[in-house]
Structure 1
Amino acid sequence: MLPRFRVIKLHPSVPWSSHPRLGPSHLMLCVSCPRSFRVTGPLDPIVAVLGGEAVLPCSLFPAVSAEDMELRWFRSKSLETVFAYQNRQEQKEEQMTPYAGRTSLVGNRLNQGYAAVRIQRVQASDNGLYTCFFRKGHFYEEAGLELKVAGVGSAPQVRITGPEEDGVRVVCTASGWFPKPQVQWRDLSGEKFLAFSEAHTQDAEGLFSVEAALLVRDSSVGNVTCSILNPVLGREKAMAIFIPEEFTVIAPPDPIVAVLGGEVLLPCRVSPAMSAEDMELRWFRSKFSEAVFIYQDRLEQKEEQMAPYAGRTSLVRDLLIQGEAAVRIQNVNVSDNGLYTCFFRKGGFYEEASLELKVAGVGSAPQVRITGPEEDGVRVVCTASGWFPKPQVQWRDLSGEKFLAFSEAHTQDAEGLFSVEAALVVRDSSVGNVTCSILNPVLGQEKAMAIFIPGQRCSRIPAGLEEGPGVPGCSGLCCPGQEP
């Protein structure tokens, strides 16, 4: 029998003396190495799911005991040790750091020539080629095996990013997939779209994110579906979206209420939902040129903004990608009250919607005082200031009954806030208390003050004095049973 020779190709970064296939007593050429066993591994790739576990098995033929052999699994390219077994125990000194604490030997059949390494918490970096190495004395054999790691990531998110010159652009995104996923676009009948752009990125853990953009030129297709496929597991996730011919802008149907000095949001959205990030957005008053806020080229544009809104407005852009936007107005004042229009434009197409802002403020508590007797009663005056909009005044007696006949006058100051003066003549002195309440009709909040209406009382003129210039007569209201 001729002697057996084996030529071993060394990795440039690994010295021959520490090569896993060569012992310290080996020469660069192994002479007269008789074959005593053969190592076999799985012919097909081993599939493992991210986060799960994988078993890398190898067997001896003929089936001789491997209990006293040196066993080693290492990466085929780097030759770095994944797991080592020698002298009937695990050897951790040479193990690669990424595998520490994650590997163990399935050794219950070692005496039958079968061994396997279990890898737990499988990662993307575990993917690739491995070599299992068995040595008995000076003789060794090895076999290669492949581990295919696979993981299904997030479901795709599909959105319309806006109309293009010749169609509608639709974008599909997904993340957390391994290996690189395959993207497919289909119409309602299942026909594939062949022309679309696709970009992949990998994060620090090696997981893939994908963004695929499709230009739909025929809006009559209705729905389009984006599917993300894992080519190893054969599993996919999909999401469909309706392709509109145009979009509309929607604003709140009811008035928006804001309190003086506070802040308010003026929201609008496009329907169907599509990204507004690359649209022109504008909020204005009665004229297009009376700009409250402008967003264009993904930036705030201040050149056309009305001076009263400078420094008080900002865009709430958290949901722009979903087609929702709102302008925040701070330090709300009276002049902010009224109608607004929100305007969305993409390319040559635009839509708008109207919304109403109702500003409201509660002013001072009413001050009520008796200004003196009238011919047929007592005159009571109620005043308040700092209200918006024009407040409503009500007079009530002790039982809650309203007085319907009273005079009322309103004035506005330079800031647009209302002051009110309301006068009531009380003809029945037995009424006791009367209450003046000031109500804000927008907020439904009121402030009130009551005053006691006395009966008639007189102050007698001192004896020896007659009425004349500078001489007081009756000093107030007369008490029952007395004459003035």
Structure 2
Amino acid sequence: MSLPLWISVLSLTGFVVKSNGSKIIRVSEGSDAILPCSIKESVVQKLFDWRKDGEKKKEVFMYDAGLHYNNGLPGQDDQFRGRVSHFPDQLKFGNASIRINNTKITDSGGYTCHFPHINGLTFYMKLVVDPVFKDRSGEISGAVPKPSVMILDVTDSGVRLKCEVQGAFPKPELRWKDSDGNILDAEEAEISERDGRYHVTLQTTVTSTTTTSFQCVVQQKDLNHETASTITVSEKLFVNSSGKVCIEWLLIGIGLGVLPTAVLALLLAFKFIRIIRIRGTKKNKEDEPEPMMPLSSDDITV
């Protein structure tokens, strides 16, 4: 394969950019990625070793004078077994590049192409595998989908909002803003990871100030990518929330201020009724005729 044709193959499997002097190869999930590595002399009888950086370096592909991971050489990491190949007809031109088939999100990261017997010559690069998201219209390739926003609850403190992102890579940063662009206080984000993708949830409680429109912003600084979703909260929800508090305090005030007065009025009423009953009893006694006394013989006048 000639050099111009080789460049064409590379361009079809992704694209290469330079950042701070290092190469970045970017492909969509499920496609093939070619990681370039070449020197100015034949590598047919050389040793070159591809590794993936991380907490624990992973063996991606090793070639040693004709022996390699695809023809019996042991040591390849399970993540790459059966998925990595080289270009045998290009070895005489110094081409030690490899192809990773059916890329996955977990393939993203830093890689090194190392020639231990040529003064420790090493090439560095970064592979970025963009997730492919699906919606009703079909497949959409992108770093992260638009976040999902919703009203979670209405409390005495305000309206509770939830922002959620699923299947993002690399790990995104979420934040809530009002319509003026002010960043709102929020709870600590809940983050989980599965198969190299991140699921992030961020909640905040908002109150009625100068706006009822709020935005959840998702940012991936490594990719210089940002997306957002906006939610508008009905003013009635804020009224209901504050009204509930006002009613509660009003009831407390009534309980503290009116109750003693009501008790005093009740006691006075009981006393008034008792007085009326006593007076009524006396009046009835005055109206009754005096009882007739029996006459004695001394009371008779002839």
Which TM-score tier does this pair reach, normalised by the shorter chain?
A: 0.5 to 0.7
Residue 142 and residue 101 in structure 1: after superposition, are their counterparts in 2 closer, same or farther (change >3 A)?
same
Which deviations, in whole Å up to 9, do the C-alpha atoms of 1:393-442 show, x marking residues without a partner? xxxxxxxxxxxxxxxxxxxxxxxxxxxxxxxxxxxxxxxxxxxxxxxxxx
Distance in 1 (CA, whole Å) between partners of 2:78 and 2:199 is 27
1:174 to 165, 169, 182: 165
Q: Cα distance, 1:134 vs. partner?
A: 2.4
Q: Provide the residue aligned with 2:94 in structure 1.
A: 113
- Contact 1:124 / 1:206 at 8 angstroms: preserved in 2? yes
Distance 1:347 1:161, change over 3 A: farther
Cα distance in 1 between the residues matched to 2:152 and 2:243: 12
Q: Closer, same or farther in 2 for the Cα pair 1:175/1:79, shift >3 Å?
A: closer
Match of 1:144 among 121, 124, 129: 124
Amino acid across the alignment from 2:158: G
Q: 1:241 aligns with which of 231, 243, 246?
A: 231
Inter-partner Cα distance in structure 2 for 1:171 and 1:347: 23
CA offsets, 1:267-295, max 9 Å, x none?
xxxxxxxxxxxxxxxxxxxxxxxxxxxxx
Matched residues in 2 for 1:188 and 1:148: separation? 33
Aligned counterparts of 2:244 and 2:89: Cα–Cα separation in 1: 73
Over 3 Å counting, the alpha-carbon distance change for 1:245 and 1:56 in structure 2 is: same
CA distance in 2, matches of 1:206, 1:85: 28
Contact 2:168 2:197 in 1 (8 A): yes
CA distance in 1, matches of 2:177, 2:241: 29
Q: Is the 8 A contact 1:196 1:214 kept in 2?
A: yes
Name the counterpart of 1:87.
65
Tell me what 1:185 maps to.
176
User: Which portions of structure 1, spanning 4 or more consecutive aligned residues, are displaced by more than 6 angstroms?
Assistant: 344-347
CA root-mean-square deviation: 3.2
1:94-149: per-residue Cα shift (whole Å, max 9, x none)?
Answer: 2111111221214554333232122233333323332212256x865333333344
1:203 is matched with which residue: 184, 188, 193? 193
Equivalent position SS for 1:59: coil
Q: Which amino acid aligns with 2:163?
A: C
Within 5 Å, which residues of 2 pair with 1:350-429?
none
Q: Which moved more, 1:232-241 or 1:96-105?
A: 232-241
CA distance in 2, matches of 1:53, 1:192: 42
How high is the sequence identity, in percent, across the aligned residues?
A: 27
Question: How many residue pairs are counted as aligned between the two chains?
Answer: 209
Residue aligning to 1:74:
51
Which whole-Å deviations, capped at 9, do the CAs of 1:435-456 have from their partners, x for residues lacking one?
A: xxxxxxxxxxxxxxxxxxxxxx
1:159 & 1:79 partners in 2: Cα distance?
A: 41
Unaligned regions of 5+ residues in structure 2, if any? Answer: 1-20, 132-142, 246-302
The equivalent of 1:303 in structure 2 is none
Question: In structure 1, what is the equivalent of residue 38 of structure 2?
Answer: 59
Larger strand percent: 1
Question: Structure 2 CA distance, aligned partners of 1:114 and 1:161?
Answer: 56
Greater relative contact order (Cα 8 A, min sep 6): structure 1 or 2?
Answer: 2
CA distance in 2, matches of 1:123, 1:201: 20
1:255-334 correspondence to structure 2 within 5 Å? none
| Larger helix share, 1 or 2 | 2
Change (3 A) 1:142 1:235: closer
Query: Partners in 2 of 1:153 and 1:109 — Cα distance?
Result: 37
Structure 1 residue 213 displacement after superposition: 1.4
Residue identity in the other structure for 1:145: M
Question: Are 1:163 and 1:347, in contact at CA under 8 Å, matched by a contact in 2?
Answer: no
Is the Cα contact below 8 Å between 1:102 and 1:120 reproduced in 2? yes
